[in-house]
Structure 1
Amino acid sequence: MHRFVVVGGGAGGLELATRLGDRYARKKSNGVPRAQVTLVDRYPTHIWKPLLHEVAAGSMDPFTQELEYAAQARWHGFEFQQGELTALDRAAKRITLGRVLDDDGAELLPKRALEYDTLVIAIGSTTHFFGVKGAPEYSIALDTVQQAERFRKRLIAACMRAEHQAHEPVESNPGTHASTEPRIQVAIVGGGATGVELSAELRNTAQVLSAYGLHKLDPRHDVGIVLIEAGPRILPALQERVSTATAELLQKLGVKLMVGETVAEVAPGLVRTASGKTVRADLTVWAAGIKAPPVLSQLDGLPVNRLGQLQVRRTLQTEIDDNVFALGDCAACSWPGNERNVPPRAQAAHQQASFLLRAFGNMLESRPLPEFTYRDFGSLVSLGHFSAVGNLMGGVIGGNMLIEGLFARFMYMSLYRLHIAALHGYARMVLDTFAHWLRRTTLPRVKLH
């Protein structure tokens, strides 16, 4: 049997392993499966990463949305191995997985080696702090469910402390009247999609927490949200009209925008910019950029670009090894007709997973591999329950159209449902949607503990 090993259980990696398992590991020829498929991830569960800002704001309970890799493997005919990729031996076609420890530091699984015939690396990206002093220590990134939950708990704790503290004036600058200063202030560094979506979700969270009596602070006046962006506008990767529309909506929600401000230092309780401004911050979220995981530059000589991504050809094969593929955020794939590479988006990872499923079919039949072509269907940004904004492009409408409001919100929600359909099929996706709706009718809009 051909041995496929997929490292990384994100949107692209999990979809690929699931569909490979369905097509080649479950169907048998002469009583034997055509391939053995193994998925590797350092965590035991999967959650769609674009939802982490909702987990951080408390508007989504991650434990109702997580998918157990072991269960998915059982349902779709592949094998799951928990562990972190630490080394690659291309000559022996073998990867090494590090030890897995429990919460107390005891060993659950030892260091192991897995052999492959075809290796797919899809380990995504991690937060880029750009060497800013204090940023790793005093800000919270949103790479994992654990980080998002940490922020949510700290936010609720800050609200409770602010409610019960002595009602003394809160001033950040001498001469500033207390009524103009929020009792709690959240600073979000980075005006990309994550930062923008989190700022809107936090405004909704403040309102819900107040409605449920968890704190008696004024959700608009006493909970301040500051969004800091180094570029001249928020959402720099999207079209300017999308950025402008989003900025107007955020300002209506009471989110303070600071554009053209590069963060120079993060310290306890404050953020300093390169222009000399100081922003009070009871909580700081770092959403200013991403980079490839450092392990990619240590994988047996596989070439990486300046961002640490694996250099791949149009077939998604790495430049020096035909048996090693890469997809998603960790892959630097050219985008013909554009100056930049394929962008690090969930839709790109989904398209690449679908492409590799077809390509591997060719490979097993000893036919030439096709070349990947990215199709940009546009971008959508959720502003929580308030609105959504984005642009549809190309294959969706045959042009380029700005959308916002209820239609944009519906399109945004559909993205996650399509991911669920890719993992479970459309019938189970419909049932999951209905079950999710039933849960929401008996639960508060924000997780309160």
Structure 2
Amino acid sequence: MTRILVIGGGAGGMELMGKLGKRLNRRSDVELTLVDISSHHIWKPLLHELASGSLDEGLNAVDYRAHAARNGYRFEQGEVIGLDRFARRVTLAPQTDARDKVLVPERTLEYDYLVLGVGAVTNDFDIPGVKDHCEFLDLTQQAMSLRQKLLRRFLEQARAERPEPFNITIVGAGATGTEMAAEMHHVAEILEGYGYAVGPEQLQVNLVEAGPHVMPALPKPCLREAVEEQLEELGVQLFTGTRVTRVDARGLHTQNDQMIPSDITIWAAGVKGPQVLSKLGLEVNDQNQLMVEANCRSLSDSRVFAFGDCAACPQPDGSYTPPRGQTARQMALMIADNLLRLLDDEEAPLKEYLYKDLGSFVNMARFHTVGNLFSFIRGGIAVQGCPARFVYASLYRRHMLALHGPIKGLALLALNGMQRWFRPQLKLW
């Protein structure tokens, strides 16, 4: 029996499991297991919509156990806390309820091949006060918690006789931060339409970026300028070239001694590997990413693979793969191919990953969408408006089709589209 254990059910991990499950479900000599800290999967680029309440998790979440049953693998919910590479054994933390009662005790899972795709967490850069006073969007649970805080604050604002300006500050003007800034104005508009006395004029959204521009992943200056123009038209106050040195309950303190008031601060500035990766006995870099070969094998152990944001995969030009969703997906599917080869021949040559930038997109709620297609070909093609929105939406559609297959995937997308006509635009609980 060959045991393949995959840690992390993000977009790449789910597509990897689907591919291996369909290819191996008739083989009794292979056991395939997925482990994730959550019970269900939500596409990470949608977490900002989940946090705002404009996304219904009931319609967009994929239950791991149901997906496992359909695709021929096992699922174990839990958090990895240890790795014994010599015994080939992973330890999962005990699961507890809200009162810390142990529901599932600490347990171990054995493997012959281990695949780590645990993604990344937001990098606080050891800045004082960030952990204590900021919200993060790394996990579904964090997005749900932020939703409650945001909507509670909006509704308190609506009930106040003389409401004071509500300041939301987002640190990091990448895709998550930029989309979240626009989403906040979208939420205010919807609430005002529901009859709440909350309008965009009562909301001040600040977007803080250490670099000179918003959306540095967009290669063309015209696209970055289009994003900045749209944000400024919405009333978002941009602080580019601004480094945060400290965060407290009142707001952010910057390198130039500026104080930016903030009622809710969302930290979306940079990523690093989860802390647990440094405790597994595998080589990591200064960003806590696992060091791997070009075929995604760990430099420390040929039985361990890693992909996505938690892996530093070398490229021919001496660089390493960037933390992008497309990178994780492509690496995960390549690892699936390599595992299939190893099952047939442990000495088989393995594929190596070569990164090609297929493009970058940012969707600012209903207001505007911009992006760049096929960036690896002479800088790519700049697209804006409806064409860009169509491509952006197609990325999620492709993911749903990969998870559910063409028939069920199309049916779910159609159902989701119909639900948008009937359900409220904002989930208020």
What range describes the TM-score normalised by the shorter chain of this pair?
over 0.9
Tell me which of 189, 194, 204 is aligned to 2:176: 194
Counterpart contact for 1:209–1:448, Cα < 8 Å = no
Which residue of 1 is the match for residue 153 of structure 2?
A: 158
CA contact (8 A) 2:172 2:208 kept: yes
For 2:341 and 2:159, how far apart are their aligned partners in 1? Answer: 65
In structure 1, distance between residues paired with 2:132 and 2:51: 18
Distance in 2 separating the partners of 1:415 and 1:135:
32
CA deviation string 1:271-315 (max 9, x = no partner): 221211111211111111111011111112x11111010000011
Distance 1:42 1:388 in 2: 32
Q: Does 1:428 align with 2:408?
A: yes
Tell me the SS of whatever aligns to 1:321. Answer: coil
Q: State the distance in 2 between where 1:150 and 1:42 align.
A: 16
Deviation at residue 370 of structure 1 after TM alignment: 1.7
- Residue 139 in 1 paired to residue 134 in 2? yes
* Equivalence for 1:22: 22
After TM superposition, the structure 1 = structure 2 runs for residues 45-444 of structure 1, keeping only pairs within 5 Å, are 45-167=40-162, 170=164, 183-213=165-195, 215-217=196-198, 219-239=199-219, 240-300=221-281, 302-337=282-317, 340-366=319-345, 367-393=348-374, 400-444=380-424
1:157-199 deviations in Å (ceiling 9; x for gaps): 222222332427x5xxxxxxxxxxxx21111111111000101
CA offsets, 1:76-114, max 9 Å, x none?
110011111111111111111111112221111111111
TM-superposed deviation, 1:413: 0.9
The one-letter amino acid of 2:349's match is P
Structure 2: which amino acid aligns with 1:280? P
Equivalent residues of 2:217, 2:360 under 8 A apart: no
Match in the other structure for 1:2: 2
Residues 405 and 98 of structure 1, relative CA distance in 2, 3 Å threshold: same
1:418 counterpart SS class: helix
Kept after mapping to 2: 8 A contact 1:141/1:285: yes
- CA–CA distance in structure 1, aligned partners of residues 133 and 54 of structure 2: 24
| Helix, strand or coil at the partner of 2:20 | helix
**Distance in 1 of aligned mates of 2:162 and 2:375:** 55
C-alpha distance in structure 1 between counterparts of 2:364 and 2:280, whole Å: 39
Counterpart of 1:428, as a letter, is K
- What is the alpha-carbon distance in structure 2 between the residues aligned to residue 238 and residue 314 of structure 1? 26
2-structure distance, mates of 1:378, 1:340:
18
Aligned AA for 1:113? T
Contact 1:62 / 1:145 at 8 angstroms: preserved in 2?
no
Tell me, in whole angstroms, the C-alpha distance in 1 between the residues paired with 2:114 and 2:421.
44
Q: Name 1:175's counterpart in structure 2.
A: none
Distance 1:304 1:163 in 2: 48
Runs of at least 5 residues in structure 2 that lack an aligned partner in the other structure? none
Letter of the 2:6 partner, please give it.
V
Counterparts of 1:410 and 1:34, CA distance in 2: 43
Cα deviation, residue 398, structure 1: 7.7
CA offset digits 1:99-133 (Å, max 9, x no partner):
11122211111111111111001111111111122
CA distance in 2: counterparts of 1:154 and 1:433, whole angstroms: 30
CA contact (8 A) 2:80 2:92 kept: yes
On the 8 A contact 1:311/1:331 being kept in 2, the answer is: yes
Displacement of 1:18 in angstroms is 2.0
Q: Percent identity?
A: 40
Offset of 1:48 from its aligned partner? Answer: 0.9
Which one-letter code corresponds to 2:20 in the other structure?
Answer: L
Instruction: Quote the Cα distance in structure 2 between the aligned partners of 1:18 and 1:345.
Output: 20
**Alignment coverage as a number of residue pairs:** 426
Alpha-carbon spacing, 1:228–1:437, altered in 2? closer, same or farther (3 Å): same
Partner of 1:179: none
Which one-letter code corresponds to 1:212 in the other structure? Answer: Y
Relative to the length of structure 1, the TM-score reads 0.92
**Aligned equivalents of 2:155, 2:339: Cα separation in 1:** 54
Distance 1:134 1:394 in 2: 38
Local SS of the residue matching 1:432 = helix
